[in-house]
């Protein structure tokens, strides 16, 4: 199975100039070195839990809120929990839709 995947990736890079392939895993240490070597996987980005700075970006993008009285409490909660940015966004989206319907 691995050799088929490696051949596929190598074939793509040989046949076209600009190609981006995205892999995701929550167990990077178990990935075969042949798959993650330079030339096959040139960029590795760790997607970590949501930090307060990331929350502020999401609050601005979804709700157009830059400052709020609850930000201190939210920062404390984010430091105590492991919450993914997608979980934060999922909770902000319904509020964003409501705000668009009723801006007051």
Mean pLDDT of 24-32: 88
pLDDT band at 57 (very low <50, low <70, confident <90, very high): very high
Which pTM does this prediction carry? 0.57
Q: What is the DSSP letter of 51?
A: P
CA distance 45 to 28: 11
CA distance 79 to 67: 18
Give the whole-number percent of the chain exceeding pLDDT 70.
88
Neighbours of 91 (CB within 10 A): 12
For residue 69, the model assigns a pLDDT of: 97
């Amino acid at each position: 199975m691995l050799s088929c995947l490696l051949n596929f990736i190598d074939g793509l890079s040989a046949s076209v100039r600009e190609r981006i392939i995205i892999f995701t895993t929550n167990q990077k240490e178990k990935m075969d070195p042949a798959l993650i070597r330079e030339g096959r996987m040139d960029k590795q980005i760790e997607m970590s839990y949501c930090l307060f700075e990331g929350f502020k970006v999401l609050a601005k993008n979804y709700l157009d809120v830059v400052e709020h009285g609850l930000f201190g409490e939210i920062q404390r909660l984010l430091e105590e929990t492991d919450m993914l940015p997608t979980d934060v966004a999922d909770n902000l989206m319904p509020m964003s839709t409501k705000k668009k319907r009723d801006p007051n």
